[in-house]
A and B are shown apart, each in its own frame.
Chain A
Amino acid sequence: MSTLTTNYLTPTGREEAWRFTPLKRLGGLHNGTFKLATRNTLALTGAAPAGVTFERIGRELISAESVTDDVIVGRIHEAASEVTVLKIAANTELAEPISLHRLAGGLTDAELSRVQLRIGANAKAIVIIENSGDHLLAEDIEIICEPGSNLTVVSLQEWDSKTIHAGRQHAIVDRDATFKSIIVTVGGDVVRLLPTVEFKGQGASVELLGVYFATAGQFFEHRMFVDHLVPNAKSRVNYKGALAGQDAHTVWIGDVFIRAAAEGTDTYELNRNLLLSDGARADSVPNLEIETGEIVGAGHASTTGRFDDEQLFYLMSRGIAVEDARRLVVRGFFNEIVSEIGNAEIQDRLMTRIDQELEKAGAQ
C-alpha cells in the first residue's frame, strides 16, 4: 500500500481515539501494511426504484463532502479508486426500503470502500446495508441529507467470525432534515465504527441508535461524534450492548460537542451494557463539551450491569426455565432499538442471532 500524501499520524495506541483499539488485530488498516484489493463489493439488492440511482463513479470525478482526522478514513479518501453513489432524488417518497449488501470479500487483501448516500430535499427513504461473510474492510459512508429530507440508514454487521471492519458513517444534516441511524454489530473479530454527525442547518434532528453483542474474543467499538455547529438542532443517542465470554470487549464513546453558535441545542445520549459473564469488558465513555449555556437540554447516562435477579425471579416464578428467562430479558433489552428497524424479517433474524449468541455464551 502506497504512503499517504496527507500527513496522518500512524496510531500507536496511545492516542485518545485509539487507546481501546487492538491495533495488532486491525490487519494493517491503521498503518497501511496491507495488500490493496481491487474489488468493490457493495451492491444494490434488486432494481433501483424510480427516483433512485446507484452507480460507481471514478474517484477523480467526485470529491469528499467532509474532512476527517481518522487515518483509515483518510486512506480511503486518497486510495479508493471509485466511489459508490446512491442518490435519492428530491421529493421522492419510497414506500419500500432500499437494500444494499456486500458480495463475497476476503481476508487476504483489504478493500477500501468509499460510499456516498445522498438524499434530496424533502425526500423520504430507508436504506438498509447488510454485511455478512468474512471481509477485511475499511469503509467510509458519507450520508448527505439535504434540507427537509427524512432518511433512516440501517447498518447490519452480521459478519462471520474473522472479519476486520473499520469504518465511518458520517452524516451531514441540513436544515429541517431528519436522520436516523441504526447500527447493529453482532459479528466479526474486530469492528470499529465511527457514527459521526455534522449539523449543517437549523431545525435538523438526528437519532443515533445501536445494538451490539460481543462474545468471547470479539472487539466491537462504536465511537460517535455529534457536532452541533448550528443553532436549534436536536440529537439523541441510544446504544445498547451485551457481552458474554472471555475477553469479549466493547467500547462505546459518545462525544457530543455543542459549539458557541449552537444555541437552542437539545441533546441526550445513553449507553447501556449488559454483562452476561465474567471475563468480559465494556468501556463506556460519554463526553459532553458545551460552549454555550443557551440550550434546551444536554445530558448523558451510561450504565453497565449484570442480569437483574429480580427480573429472572419474576419470570421463573411463572414457570419459565432460567435459560428461557434469560433469553426473554436479553431480547427485551435489545427490543427497544431492534423494533425501530421497522422490518419484521430483519428484526426476527437479528433476534434469532441474539438468541444464538446468548446460547453460545451459555455453552462456554
Chain B
Amino acid sequence: MSTLEIRGLKVSVDTENGPVEILKGVDLTIKSGETHAIMGPNGSGKSTLAYSIAGHPKYQITGGTVTLDGVDLLDMTVDERARAGLFLAMQYPVEVPGVSVSNFLRTAATALRGEAPKLRTWVGEVKSAMAALSMDPSFAERNVNEGFSGGEKKRHEIMQLELLKPKIAILDETDSGLDVDALRIVSEGVVRAKADNDLGVLLITHYTRILRYIKPDFVHVFADGRIVEEGGPELAEKLEANGYAEYVSK
C-alpha cells in the first residue's frame, strides 16, 4: 500500500520576464489502486504538475511538499524518484538516437530492480509486454522513440509502465494523438498494470474519452494552477456536457 501526498505545492518557471508562478498551491493524495483524473483546460498547469513531481529541472519548487510513503520526493534526483516507485508517462516522449529500445529497457530495469534481470526470463518478459500492446517484435531493435508515430510512442510508454512496475504512475495526456483502436490498447495496458501491481494512477487529460476505458475513482478539475473542484466520476460527465468555461471565467 503506497501513498503519494502532495501538499500546498507551488511551482515557478523562469521566463524572460522573471519567474512566473504556474502551480499556486496543489493538494492531492493518491493511494495504491486508486485512479485520479485531473482534467482542465490547456495552460492550466496540469503538465507542470506532472513534470514537477517527476523532477524536471525546468521547474522550481517554491513551496509545499510531495512525499511517497512519507519520504520527501522533492529532495531526490529524477532517477531516485523513479527508484522510489514513481513513473511518468510523457505526453511527448523524447528521442534518444542510437539507443535501442531493448538496451534502454534493460538498463532501466537493472536500475530499478537493483540487479540486471536474468537474460532468459527478461527476453520473455519484454516479448509478452510488447505483444500485449500489439507491438511488433522488431520494435525492440529500433532506437528509443526515433521515428515512432504518435501512437507508437504512447504504446512504448505504457509498455514501460507494465515492465517497470512502479507504485504510482502519472499519465500526462497519454490519450492525446491516439486513434480509437490505439486508445483502447493503451488503456487496457493501464488497466492491466493497475490489476497486476495495485498501481495508483494520476491521469492527466483534457478529454473524457479515455475515462470510458480507465474508470476514475476521483475527478479533479484543474484551473489556473490549482484544483478548483473535486468529485467522483459524475464530475467528468458534467465536464463532458458543459466544458471548462465555468472554471476559466472564475
Footprint of B on A, CB under 8 Å?
Answer: 308-311, 313-322, 324-325, 328-329, 331-336
Contacts and interface: CB of A to CB of B under 8 A. Distances in A.
A336 B79 contact: no
B94 A322 contact: no
B96 A320 contact: no
Nearest to A308: B94
A319 B79 contact: yes
Interface stretch (B36-44, B97-105, B117-125, B214-222): B97-105
Interface string B49-61: 0000011110000
23 contacts: A314-B90, A314-B94, A314-B144, A315-B107, A316-B55, A317-B87, A318-B79, A318-B82, A318-B108, A318-B160, A319-B108, A320-B82, A320-B107, A322-B77, A324-B107, A324-B111, A328-B99, A328-B103, A328-B107, A332-B99, A333-B98, A334-B98, A336-B97
Nearest to A328: B99
A322 B79 contact: yes
Interface residues of B, number: 30
A319 B54 CA distance: 11
B99 A313 contact: no
Given A329-B99, A331-B98, A319 B82 contact: yes
B8 interface: no
A320 B108 contact: yes
B99 A335 contact: yes
Contact of A332 (B54, B87, B97): B97
Nearest 5 interchain pairs by C-beta: A332-B98, A335-B98, A319-B82, A318-B108, A332-B99
A141 B68 CA distance: 63
B52 to A, nearest CB: 12
A316 to B, nearest CB: 4
Contacts of B78: 313, 316-317
Given A314-B93, A318-B160, A320-B107, 19 more contacts: A314-B96, A316-B55, A316-B77, A316-B82, A317-B55, A317-B81, A318-B82, A318-B104, A318-B112, A319-B79, A319-B111, A319-B164, A321-B111, A329-B96, A331-B98, A331-B99, A332-B97, A336-B97, A336-B98
Given A320-B79, A320-B107, A324-B107, A315 B96 contact: yes
Contacts of B54: 313, 317
Contacts of A328: 96, 99, 103-104, 107
A318 B164 contact: yes
B88 interface: yes
Nearest to A338: B98
Given A313-B78, A321-B79, A322-B79, A332 B96 contact: yes
B83 interface: yes
Nearest to A321: B79
A313 B98 contact: no
B100 to A, nearest CB: 9
A270 to B, nearest CB: 13
B143 interface: yes
A268 B90 CA distance: 35
Interface string B138-178: 00000110000000000000001000100000000000000
Interface in B179-217: none
A102 B164 CA distance: 48
Contacts of A308: 94
A328 B56 CA distance: 19
